[in-house]
Chains A and B, each alone.
Chain A
Amino acid sequence: MFKQLGTAAALFTLSTSVKSADSGKGSLGINYLILDEMAGKYLTICSNSIDSENRGDITIVVDPFSSLGMELVFTVSDIQADNQDQILFLAYSTDITASPQIPTDMSKIKLGIDVTRAEIVALYNIPKQLMIAQPDTRIGIADPILTSKASFKIRLETNRLQSLIRSGRFTIYLQAALMRKVDFDSGVFANMILSEVDKITFFEGKDCSAGSVEITGK
């Protein structure tokens, strides 16, 4: 039964094959990703924009007297269904680099973080998805391709953030990446597609500065 699907899945892969990112227009999920941040539990974001989609440069208030673990929620869109297992990961660094340290021909957005100071902070398996033939109905027929927007939480630890702040590294830069698991396992990162670089600055205190929008998670 699953064998039958193999053919369809292979065709599906062909239909969504990635073009050279530099030669064409941006296609979300095919040659780039979008990364967004939202405030989770016990976390306050200070932003210049109330529109979450326009962020990308946020400040997070770190209250040294709070023992509550802050949650920062990330969303990554779009993830296209594929017939091979994929890996989604989020990397951050305390520095950015003037030129990409890894070539990523398939990605329209290039690596912007300094990998010498980078850590992978979140890592998810995106399993291969079997394509199902869609029924013909009285209203029409569905597209067999499913796209996903993934969201995950990172628990920020106050003590560690305070150490970063005190060492003068209070800003981190993040990028999300998606690649086939087989490439990830063999360390071939040239085939990943990337999100834009988002900037997060940690600020020791209790409240946002005057004039900025304060967004507190539930």
Chain B
Amino acid sequence: MSILSSKKMLAGAALFAVSTNVKSADAGAGKSQRGINHLELNEVPGRQLAVCTNGLDKFFGSSVATNDLTVIVEPLSTTSMELVFTVSDIPSADQDHILFLVYSTALSPSPQMNTPRSIKKLELDMNYNEIAAVYHIPKQNMMAQDGTRIGQANPSANSKVSFKINLETNKILNLIRNGQPTIYVQTALIRKSDFDASNFDSMILSEADKITFVDRSTACSGNNIKILEKDDTITISDGNEVLGLTMTASGETKFFVTDDIGKIISFLGINKNSILSFFGVPKWVYE
């Protein structure tokens, strides 16, 4: 068990869902300060997860730079897929906090909860929401920094955190079949004491990101990944290294190795044979 029993979490989530004490989204106006009055949420393809993006440029850097991601569901080849979420910034604080990720299958035209500290407002329809991930962010005691021969460090540190959600193929297929292929996700940071008391007004929020699930046979490809459109990107994995694959206009295939958070760390070649020779007999052969 954990610091939050399942019962307690459900209670918190239920209150979260029914809170309708919405004032105008006036407060929070002012300068945007990440980690202070809003968060930034990004998604990165993880193990066994293939995505469609509009171009390779979306894949460079530390995450997929899009708030509208399409995930390809492969019922025949995988039972689960990993989607990695990154949240920035989490500043050092003198109180315990809770970071959580909520998703809903619908958006709300207006915030269903007042969040005056956050310049980004709640966009999810809380009638269809679930908390999908919850993390403890411990209070951090600041340490005195010594003056050195080059200068002095700031006593506070910021963090960018990442976590994985194992998307279960059967569950995702059910969503698709029920006509709810799209989910919207928002992340929130709140003092633990407020979370425990279900006082969600004090949380700060990220933007709402959209994730659409598509069956492999109906979008991004036909029956085979070879017919990806120009600059579509998928990822496949051998268990540790994630491989990004992009089809270019000429039909050549470029292979990239990325690290755990989707950052490209090397370019391997432009055809599959070069990759096969690099890895020997790969476990991850896609077709």
Assembled-state Cα–Cα distance A92/B152 (Å): 12
Most buried by B among A53, A90, A139: A139
Which among A125, A133, A155 is the interface contact of B151 at CB below 8 angstroms? A155
A129: chain B residues within 8 A (beta carbon): 135-138
Q: Cβ of B164 and Cβ of A142 under 8 Å apart? A: yes
For A28, list chain B residues within 8 Å (CB).
259-260
Q: Is the CB of A140 within 8 A of B166?
A: yes
Chain B contacts for A139, CB-based, 8 A: 103, 130, 132, 165, 167-168, 171-172, 175, 183
Minimum Cβ distance to chain B for residue A13 (Å): 15
B159 & A148 in contact (Cβ 8 Å cutoff): yes
CB <8 Å contact, A121 and B2: no
Given that A139-B183, A147-B161, A148-B159 are known contacts, is A1 also in contact with B259, CB under 8 Å in the complex? no
Given A139-B172, A151-B157, also A4-B163 (CB < 8 A): no
- Tell yes or no: B77 within 8 A of A by CB: no
A156 → B minimal CB distance (Å): 4
A158 → B minimal CB distance (Å): 9
**B131 at interface, CB cutoff 8 A:** yes
Q: Give A123 to B92 CA distance when docked, in angstroms.
A: 13
Q: A residues within 8 A CB of B162?
A: 78, 146-149
Q: Enumerate chain B residues within 8 angstroms of A126, measured Cβ to Cβ.
A: 140
Instruction: Mark each residue of chain A from 111 to 142: 1 if its CB lies under 8 Å from any CB of chain B, else 0.
Output: 00000000111111111111111110111111
The minimal Cβ–Cβ distance linking B269 to chain A, given in whole angstroms, is: 19
A145 to B103, CA, bound (A): 19
A157 at the interface (CB under 8 A from B): yes
* B201 → A minimal CB distance (Å): 22
Contacts of B141 in A (CB 8 A): 125, 127
In the complex formed, the residue of A with least CB distance to B138 is A127
A150 and B157 form a contact (CB under 8 A):
yes
**B89, B145, B149, B164, most chain A CB atoms within 10 A:** B149
Point out the residues of chain B lying under 8 angstroms from A153, CB to CB: 153-154
* CB-based contact A147/B143 at 8 Å: no
Q: How far is the CB of A80 from chain B (nearest CB, A)?
A: 11
CA distance A70 to B119 in the complex (A): 30
B1 contacts the other chain (CB 8 A): yes
- Residue of B82, B134, B139, B166 near A132 (CB, 8 A) is B134
A2 at the interface (CB under 8 A from B): yes
How far in angstroms is the closest Cβ of chain B from A33?
A: 13
Q: In angstroms, how far is the closest chain A Cβ from the Cβ of B109?
A: 23
Q: Whole-angstrom distance from the CB of A165 to the nearest CB of chain B?
A: 11
A137 touches B1 (CB 8 A): no
Contact flags A69-85 to B (C-beta < 8 A → 1, else 0): 10000000111000000
Interface readout for A55-73 with B: 1 if CB under 8 Å, 0 if not?
Answer: 0000000000000010000
Select B2's contact among A5, A88, A163, beta carbons within 8 Å.
Answer: A5
CB neighbours (8 Å) of A150 from chain B are 157-159
Give, as a whole number of angstroms, the nearest-CB distance from B165 to chain A.
Answer: 5
Q: Is the C-beta of A152 less than 8 angstroms from some C-beta in chain B?
A: yes
10 A-B pairs with C-beta separation under 8 A: A5-B2, A78-B162, A123-B153, A124-B140, A132-B136, A135-B10, A142-B132, A142-B165, A146-B161, A156-B151
Mark A residues whose CB is within 8 Å of B.
1-2, 4-5, 8, 25, 28, 53, 69, 77-79, 88, 90, 92, 119-135, 137-143, 145-157, 160-161, 163-164, 172
Given A125-B141, A127-B138, 5 other A-B residues pairs in contact with their CB atoms under 8 A: A120-B146, A120-B148, A132-B135, A137-B130, A139-B167
Q: Chain B: residues with CB nearer than 8 A to chain A?
A: 1-4, 6, 9-10, 13, 80, 82, 89-90, 99, 101, 103, 130-143, 145-146, 148-154, 156-168, 171-172, 174-175, 183, 240, 259-261, 263, 265
